[in-house]
Amino acid sequence: MNKALRNPLIYGLFVLPAFVLFLAFFVYPILSAMNNSFTSWNGISKNITYIGFDNYLTAFQDAAFWKSVRNNVYFILFSCLIQVPLIVIFSLLIANVKRLKGLYKTAVFMPSIMSTAVIGILWGFIYNPDFGLANEILGVFGLPQVYWLSDKNWAMLSILITNAWQWTGFYIVMVLAAIISIPKELDEAAAIDGATGFQRATRITIPLVMPIISVVIMLSMAGAMKAADIVLVMTKGGPAGSTDVMATYMIRYAITSFRHGFGNSIAVLIFVFTIVLTALYQFFVARRTERIEY
Amino acid sequence: MKKSFVLLLSLFLLSSIMLAGCGKAANEGAPATNGEQPATNDKPSEPKASEEPFEITIRHTQVGESKKFRLALLEDVVKKTQEAVPGLKIKLDAVDSEVNRKEKLRGEMAAGKPPEIFDVFGSPDAALYAKEGLMLDLTPILEELGLKDKFTTLAPFTHDGKIYGLPIGGSIEGFFYNKAYFEEKGLKVPATLDELEKLAETIKADGKIPFAQSSKDAWIPLMTTNNLWSYYGGPEITYGFKTGETKWTDENMVKAVAKHQEWVQKGYYKKGELGFEYADMRNQIITGEAIMMMDGSWANSVFRDPAQAGDTVGKIGFFNMPPLKAGDPVVVMQDANNGYGFSSAVAEDPRKLQAVKEFIKFMWTEEMQLRGLKEDGVLPAMKMDLEQMKTTSDDPLMQDIFKAVSEIGTSFPAFDALVQAEVNTALSMGIQQIIGGEIDPVKMLENVQAAQDAANAAEPQ
């Protein structure tokens, strides 16, 4: 067997099926999208006109596009600055509970297995201005009613909270698995040396799970860049485009208007922005946290 | 050596399976007409060919409980068509309306292989497909069947003077209102726009919401705006945007949009309506929270259904948006934008063409139109005697709708049938900004005009 696989021809032939699938379902669609992005194709016509970088210029000159980019940035910032710290805190708390750990894990994981449509409806009730839980809570503190999904000042935040609620549990389970895999001796030795719980968490546990936290941040960033379903379900990009992200901008201004060439250019931009962002993160941040030795 | 041979053999086997899986049936990839070719070549004699079994597909969107009557109607037509054409077998392909419109049909059109008969929206969809030569020109068939002048409007399905589709039903837009509340408070159906505003003021003073509206989907408030600008600027103004003869920035357009914004600012709509779904505004009427609601006549099915409307059944009426001055003609949006289209490939097969003709003959009859009205409350797409329509239902709401139809002085199609999709997007954005108080009517209409200019430039007249 080993001898056979040392033969480059046989090795190549074994790689070929997977390589063909990779070309057909990954490389070809990307190249096709890039090609279409330089056209004014309406998605139907056989006559395709090449218009150079016009689609890209249209996007770059459109304030609504940059507004959608800004909303993607909000998604990323909310994930990295609010969601990730919460994930770490909850993971540490759950890792240290003595009873019902399974119940907590299941409870936090539950939202991530629910359909986004269901979550949209569920949180739609929570944000309902008349009888929603969010306003009921505000009412207890004597605060005025908030139009969560109708007011452009609150709509984006409402979506970010819902999105965080949906995915936090998924990442908690990932970080929790990493925490549990840390040899107990390390924690016990620190405790014997007089380290407090907080010190053990910040000086031992968190540094040791940094690689997985780094992966969580990267996945959050990639997820934030391609976010669309939660926005469509909750606000459809409204009110007046205030919650549009790049993907919903693409649907609103390109796909529904039979501007597939323009739509493809937005898809390419999402792809490029995501690649650049994750590459920068990988280069400047993630590489430093990759090597952990117990 | 032996191992290498076995490995190579298994690799080839796997590759063959994969390639076979990726392949197509012999007749699948070829154009529909090619697929039919052998049958006609092998059987040159006419009688034999006509008995040969053949199949056509009808893509419809009659899915779910609410469309059961419409499905039954379609099934009856299918049965009659199959009986009339020897050898014909019709395959019904049910797909959700939105999925069909936005994904499935578009994909099939891009591949050049739509089903023989398919559910389609007139504008802008049918015009685009027709322009690419993918839809069958029905003009000669309608002339042959004597149906050409039988429809209220075929404008959404007409491209370059040719007809490419037929609407299944029609609708008008107007105000549903709480009749019981009107009677209790001694209120009357308004005769002018001014009276409508006074009515709204009275209702508001009574602590109720004058108009139910949900603007999460911009087409809902745009029903009101479209009817307002058709009074201020005249119904013909919308026809000129695409040709450049009229402008969105026209002072009458500004007045109409300003009026809509004024109603919002005066609190005639529920606060936060930009986040409400379509169903929410109907609920506002059903619960008695709001008193009037601008909607399409199709909404009658909700207010006539005890399961949806509860105690409100029988208490809801309907009136047209009144004109600016008493006695002026009533201008109403009357449209028929959804129906069936046919693949242009059908023209190359005489038997399929015959099947299509028979389908049209059985589907667009007075009997079927009245049946749709009676069972579903969908107004006929074909011209019909009002008295005859009235006989289909003694429901008070339907009688109100018939009365509203009889009062129409001038009708016009919805704006989205007359302007490009990009303009609709700009207008949708603009009306939400108007409701949110983010923009003034002049600036909003300038933005729409800019989108119109760009769309017109991209599409030489």
Distance spanning both ends of chain A, measured CA to CA? 37
Query: CA nearest B48: which of B57, B36, B39, B38?
Result: B39
Binned at pLDDT 50, 70 and 90, residue B430 comes out as very high
Is B436–A147 a contact, with Cβ atoms under 8 angstroms apart?
Answer: no
CATH topology of domain B173-334+396-458: D-Maltodextrin-Binding Protein; domain 2 (3.40.190)
Is B436–A4 a contact, with Cβ atoms under 8 angstroms apart?
Answer: no
Q: Comparing B386 with B276, which gets the higher pLDDT?
A: B276
Q: How far is CA B325 from the centre of its chain?
A: 31
* pLDDT above 50: residue B148: yes
Looking at the domain covering A64-289, what would its CATH class be? Answer: mainly alpha
Contacts of A131 in chain B (CB under 8 A): none
Q: Comparing B238 with B69, which gets the higher pLDDT?
A: B238
Give residue B26's pLDDT. Answer: 39
Q: What is the CA angle A156-A159-A163, rounded to 5? A: 140
In one-letter notation, the amino acid at residue B61 is T
Give Cβ neighbours of residue A87 (< 8 Å, ≥ 6 apart).
Answer: A168, A171, A172, A175, A213, A216
* pLDDT above 50: residue B25: no
Q: Tell me which DSSP letter residue B100 carries.
A: I
Contacts of A7 in chain B (CB under 8 A): 4
| Minimal CA separation from B145 to chain A, in Å | 31
Average pLDDT over residues B372-383: 88
Highest mean pLDDT among A4-8, B25-29, B67-71, B324-328: B324-328
Contacts of A20 in chain B (CB under 8 A): 18
Q: What is the CA angle A127-A128-A133, rounded to 5? A: 60
* Residue of chain A nearest B110, judged by CA positions: A44
Query: CA nearest B128: which of B420, B434, B429?
Result: B420
* pLDDT above 50: residue B41: no
Please state whether beta strands B338-342 and B117-121 pair in parallel, antiparallel, or not at all (unpaired): antiparallel
Q: CA–CA separation, A129 vs A115, rounded Å?
A: 24
Give residue B309's pLDDT. Answer: 85
Average pLDDT over residues B169-195: 94
Query: CA nearest B445: which of B429, B421, B460, B456?
Result: B429
Dihedral (CA of A82, A112, A264, B418) sign = negative
CB atoms within 10 A of CB B139: 15
| Minimal CA separation from B135 to chain A, in Å | 12
Give residue B52's pLDDT. Answer: 83
Q: CA–CA separation, B175 vs B294, rounded Å?
A: 4
Contacts of B425 in chain A (CB under 8 A): 252-253, 256-257
Decide: B323 and B231 in contact? Cβ < 8 Å.
yes
Q: How far is CA B387 from the centre of its chain?
A: 25
Binned at pLDDT 50, 70 and 90, residue B70 comes out as confident
Give residue B153's pLDDT. Answer: 84
Say which residue the tokens 């014997």 belong to.
A192
Q: CA–CA separation, A267 vs A275, rounded Å?
A: 12
Decide: B344 and B138 in contact? Cβ < 8 Å.
no
SS3 B208: coil
Give residue B302's pLDDT. Answer: 87
Give residue B14's pLDDT. Answer: 59
The residue ranges of every structural domain in chain A are 64-289
Preceding amide of A129 cis, omega within 30: no
Is A238–B432 a contact, with Cβ atoms under 8 angstroms apart?
Answer: yes
Give residue B3's pLDDT. Answer: 62
Decide: A151 and A243 in contact? Cβ < 8 Å.
no
Contacts of B218 in chain A (CB under 8 A): 238
Decide: B409 and B200 in contact? Cβ < 8 Å.
no
Give residue B10's pLDDT. Answer: 63
Bridge partners of residue B55, in order along the sequence: B89
Question: DSSP secondary structure string, chain A?
Answer: -HHHHHSHHHHHHHHHHHHHHHIIIIIHHHHHHHHHTTB---SS-S---B-TTHHHHHHHH-HHHHHHHHHHHHHHHHIIIIIHHHHHHHHHHHHH-SS-HHHHHHHHHHHHHS-HHHHHHHHHHHT-TTT-HHHHHHHHTTPPP--TTTSHHHHHHHHHHHHHHHHHHHHHHHHHHHHHTS-HHHHHHHHHTT--HHHHIIIIIHHHHHHHHHHHHHHHHHHHHT--HHHHHHTTT-STTTT--HHHHHIIIIITTT-HHHHHHHHHHHHHHHHHHHHHHHHHTGGGGS----
* pLDDT above 90: residue B357: yes
Q: How far is CA B40 from the centre of its chain?
A: 38
pLDDT average per 10 residues of sequence, chain A (294 residues): 74 91 94 94 87 94 94 94 93 87 86 90 92 92 91 94 93 92 88 89 90 91 89 91 94 86 95 92 76 58
In one-letter notation, the amino acid at residue B137 is D
What are the distances in angstroms from CA B425 to CA A251, A265, B219, B428? 11, 18, 10, 5
Best to test chain B binding among A127, A257, A266 (most B CBs inside 10 Å): A257
Distance spanning both ends of chain B, measured CA to CA? 72
CATH topology of domain B43-167+337-380: D-Maltodextrin-Binding Protein; domain 2 (3.40.190)
What are the distances in angstroms from CA B143 to CA B137, B146, B147, B332, B385? 11, 5, 6, 29, 22
Burial status of residue A108 (CB atoms within 10 A of its CB: 0-12, 13-18, 19 or more): buried
Q: How far is CA B85 from the centre of its chain?
A: 30
Decide: A200 and A206 in contact? Cβ < 8 Å.
no
Q: Tell me which DSSP letter residue B192 carries.
A: S
Residue B310 zone, left/alpha/beta (φ > 0; ψ -120 to 50; rest): left
* pLDDT above 70: residue B388: yes
Give residue B98's pLDDT. Answer: 80
Give Cβ neighbours of residue A3 (< 8 Å, ≥ 6 apart).
Answer: B3
Residue A236 is nearest to which of B112, B216, B425, comparing CB atoms? Answer: B216
* pLDDT above 60: residue B19: no
Best to test chain B binding among A42, A150, A264 (most B CBs inside 10 Å): A150
Looking at this predicted complex, what is its ipTM?
0.83
Average pLDDT over residues B413-418: 87
Is B132–A46 a contact, with Cβ atoms under 8 angstroms apart?
Answer: yes
Contacts of B18 in chain A (CB under 8 A): 17, 20
Please state whether beta strands B330-335 and B171-178 pair in parallel, antiparallel, or not at all (unpaired): antiparallel
SS3 B120: strand
Give residue B50's pLDDT. Answer: 60
Is A235–B275 a contact, with Cβ atoms under 8 angstroms apart?
Answer: yes
What is the per-residue pLDDT across B82-98, written as a single tens digit (0 to 9) for each?
Answer: 999 999 999 999 998 88
The residue ranges of every structural domain in chain B are 43-167+337-380, 173-334+396-458
* pLDDT above 50: residue B29: no
Same CATH topology for B43-167+337-380 and B173-334+396-458: the answer is: yes
Mean pLDDT, all residues of chain B: 87
pTM for this model (two decimals): 0.83
